[in-house]
Amino acid sequence: MDEQENSIDELVRKLLDLKSDLKGEEAEAFEEMIRLAVRSAQEINEQEKKLLKSEGFDNFRELMKPQSSHAIVVGEKLDKLLNPPPKDE
């Protein structure tokens, strides 16, 4: 998870830089994309929580790589893109 978190942190930093260069329609599409990602990450997390106690081919399900861990991290980190810290921080 550390490597995954680091790569997402790095991506968010780059997205913040890119965002500061965007204007007009591009800026609007970019921000909406991030909003959609946050909204979906929350929904995926909720669905995955419901599955935690379910039975079945658990090992196989792991092989299929649920998105949950990634979605949790994405959902938390992307908040920085929608509510960026002040420049002097």
Partner 1 sequence: MNSLAEKLVALINQEGASSFFALKNLLGIAATSLPKDGSLPSSQKELNAFKLIQEALFELRKPTRRNLTQDGVLWRGKIPFLDENLLTKIEHELDEFRKDAAPQKWGQYISPGGALVQKYFASQELRFFVEKYSGRLEGAGVPSCLYYDEIGAHIKPHVDTDNFCVNLNVMISHRSESSRNSKLVIYPVGDALPVEVYLSPGEGILMYADCIVHTRTPVSKGESIKNITVGFKPSSEIHEDIS
Q: Which position among 1, 23, 55, 87 is part of the footprint of partner 1 (CB under 8 A)?
A: 55
10-39 residues in contact with partner 1 (CB under 8 A) are 10-11, 14-15, 18, 22, 25-26, 28-30, 32-37, 39
Two structure tokens written together for 61: 């399900």
- Which of 32, 45, 31 is CA-nearest to residue 74? 45
Residue linked to tokens 């942190």: 9
- Regarding 43 and contact with partner 1 (CB under 8 A), the answer is yes
CA-based end-to-end distance of the chain: 27
Min dist. Cβ of residue 85 to partner 1 (A): 20
